[in-house]
Amino acid sequence: MKRMVPVLVRPVLVLVIAGYAVGGWLLASAGLAAAREVAERWTRRPLVSAVPAASPFAPDEPGLAADLPVWGGTERVSVLLLGIDTRPDEVSWEPGRTDFIAVATLDPATHSAGLISFPRDLWVTIPVAPGYRFEERINVAYRTGELEHVPGGGVAVARRTLEYNFGIRTNFYVIVDFEAVVRAIDRLGGIVIDVERPLKDNEFPTDDYGTKRIYFAPGLQWFDGQRALEYARSRHQDSDFERNRRQQQVLLAARQKALSLNFLPLLPHLIDNLRGHLKTDLTLPQLLALARLGATVDLQDITVRSIAGDAIVRLPDQTVFLPNRPVVGRLIAEVFADPRVRREAAQIVVVAAPAQRVLAQRLTRTLESRGFTARLEVRPAAEPRAETALVDYTGKPATVRALSELLQLDPARVVDGRSGSGAGDLELLVGADLELP
C-alpha cells in the first residue's frame, strides 16, 4: 500500500511562502484598505484553508512589503507543524496519521529560527485526556485525538504529547497535505540541490499504488517540485534518518530560492495552487507578520535538528525507537538557543567548594542539557561562597547574557575578567543563593 509521506520542506515552506502569498496577493490586487478589511475578518475567523479565490495578475509595486503587518511581540513563537498521511481517494471522515511532526520556532529578540523534527516511529506516551494515556508511536497522537473527539481534536493531543514527553510548548499549529510541496516549489521555478552521493530507489511509490525506479546522480542540479519531492521522500536505499537530512537540504534550498525572488508577481498563482492544502489557527495578520519576520533571519541563524543517531535507542527486532532523553534534550536546547551563544562556543567552568559539590553537579548537568558546554571544577581549598557570580575572561557577551537570564543573576555579580585568565572562557562561581532553573 502506498504511503503518502509528507516531507520536511512542506510545512515550513508553506508557512513562510503562504504568509507572503496571502498578504502579497491582497496588497497587490485588492489594495491596502481591502487587505486590512479582509485581515480583520480573518482575525475573527481562524484560517481553515489559506486560499482566497484566484485573482488577475497584479504587478509588483515598490514599498508594498513595508505595509505588511509587523510582529509586535518580543517572546519566542513556536509552531507545531503536522503533515497528514492522506490520499485524494481516501474518505474525508477518516483522519490520517501525522507522518511528519516538527516544531518551528522564531525568536524576534535574536532574529533567529529553528526547526526540530521527530521520527514517526518514535515510541512515546500519548496523554489523550486526564486519566487516559497510553504508549504508542508519536504519529498516532493526532489521529487518536480526532477519532476520540477530544476537545481541541488531534492538534490538542499532538501538542500535549510533545509537552508531556519533551517539554515543548507551541503557540500555533499548521497542518498541510501531500501536494503542497510540489506546487510551492514549481511556483518558485524549481530549486538547485547539490546531491552529495548517488541515490537509487527501485521501489518508489507511484500515485496508482505501483512503484517506479528513480535515480539521482551526484552533483549540482535543478529540481522541479516532483523531482524535489522524490529526492526528499526516497527511503529504500538508506534510512528515514538520511531522508530527514535530505529533507532539510531541500528546505534550505527552497527558502533560499524564495528569498531571492520578487514574490508579488508569483503570489496570485501560488495562492490558487495552495487551495485546500493548508489548515492553521494563525490569523492572517499573524501569518503575514511571521512571514515578514522570518525573511529577516540569516541562514547562519537557523538551527535545524532531527531526532536521529544517538538521540534514539533502537530495540531488538522492533521497528520503533525510544528517545534517548538526555541527547534529545540537548538537541531541543540547541534549536531553542540563541545562535550567537552557539557561535561563541564558550567553555564554562562551574567552580565550587567541596561543600557545594552536589549543587554544582546539578547545575553543570542543567547547563549541558540546555546546550552549554560546561564542566565542574571542585577546588578543595575554596570556602563556600554566599553569592553566585559569573566571570567572563575572554569576552563572550551572548553567553554572559544567556547565563545571567537563566540564573537570574544581578548585573553586579557579572565580572569582566579579561585582564586576567581563568580555567575556561567563563567561570561560574557557585554560591549558596543559587537556585537551579
CB 6 within 8 A of CB 85: yes
Same domain, 350 and 279: no
Point out the domain boundary residue: 302, 336, 370. 336
Same domain, 255 and 381: no
**Torsion angle of alpha carbons 393, 395, 399, 404, nearest 10°?**
70
Closest CA to 213 of 223, 199, 226: 199
Same domain, 106 and 153: yes
Cβ-based neighbours of 145, under 8 Å, separated by 6 or more: 128, 152, 153, 154, 155, 156, 157, 158
Q: Report which of residues 46 and 411 the model is more confident about.
A: 411
Position 1 in a domain: no
Position 348 in a domain: yes
Same domain, 299 and 372: no
Residue 176 grid cell: 498541510
Position 437 in a domain: no
The CATH number covering residue 85 comes to: 3.40.630.190
Domain that holds residue 50: 9-336
Q: Please report which confidence band the pLDDT of residue 12 belongs to, taking 50, 70 and 90 as the band edges.
A: very low
CB 388 within 8 A of CB 413: yes
Same domain, 223 and 258: yes
Position 385 in a domain: yes
- The DSSP secondary-structure symbol of 385 reads B
Position 249 in a domain: yes
The CATH number covering residue 344 comes to: 3.30.70
Ranked by mean pLDDT, the top range of 33-37, 264-268, 414-418 is: 414-418
Q: Please report which confidence band the pLDDT of residue 272 belongs to, taking 50, 70 and 90 as the band edges.
A: low
Cα(421)–Cα(419) distance, integer angstroms: 7
pLDDT on residue 309:
87
pTM, entire model = 0.73
Position 356 in a domain: yes
Decide if pLDDT at 341 tops 70.
yes
Same domain, 175 and 303: yes
Pick the range with the lowest mean pLDDT from 75-84, 188-197, 290-299, 419-428: 290-299
**Torsion angle of alpha carbons 206, 247, 293, 70, nearest 10°?**
30
* pLDDT tens profile 238-251: 666 677 778 778 87
Please, which contacts does 84-89 make with residues 24 or more away whose CB atoms are closer than 8 Å? 84/6, 84/142, 84/175, 84/176, 84/177, 85/3, 85/4, 85/5, 85/6, 85/139, 86/4, 86/177, 86/178, 87/2, 87/4, 87/178
Point out the domain boundary residue: 270, 304, 336. 336
* The pairing of beta strand 278-280 with beta strand 98-107: unpaired
Same domain, 233 and 365: no
> Residue 134 to residues 138, 156, 334: CA-CA distances in angstroms?
11, 16, 29
Cα(235)–Cα(219) distance, integer angstroms: 19
Percentage of the chain exceeding pLDDT 70:
77
Decide if pLDDT at 280 tops 90.
no
Indicate the SS3 state at residue 303: strand
pLDDT on residue 269:
57
Same domain, 306 and 368: no
Cα(33)–Cα(35) distance, integer angstroms: 5
Cα(140)–Cα(154) distance, integer angstroms: 9
Same domain, 209 and 143: yes
Centroid of chain to Cα 235: 22
Angle made by CA atoms 12, 13, 14, in degrees to the nearest 5: 95
Position 4 in a domain: no
> Residue 193 to residues 201, 219, 248: CA-CA distances in angstroms?
18, 8, 11
Point out the domain boundary residue: 336, 359, 382. 336
Q: What is the mean pLDDT of the chain?
A: 78
Same domain, 374 and 254: no
Position 434 in a domain: no
- Which amino acid belongs to residue 218? P
Indicate the SS3 state at residue 217: coil
Cα(253)–Cα(145) distance, integer angstroms: 34
- Measured between its terminal Cα atoms, the distance across the chain in Å is 48
> Residue 336 to residues 7, 291, 344: CA-CA distances in angstroms?
22, 19, 16
Same domain, 323 and 253: yes
Pick the range with the lowest mean pLDDT from 22-26, 82-86, 337-341, 378-382: 22-26
pLDDT on residue 273:
64
- Residues in a beta bridge with 428: 350, 390
Decide if pLDDT at 94 tops 70.
no
Cβ-based neighbours of 181, under 8 Å, separated by 6 or more: 6, 7, 9, 10, 13, 14, 225, 228, 229, 232
Number of domains in the chain: 2
Average pLDDT over residues 91-111: 78
Same domain, 176 and 281: yes
Average pLDDT over residues 329-335: 89
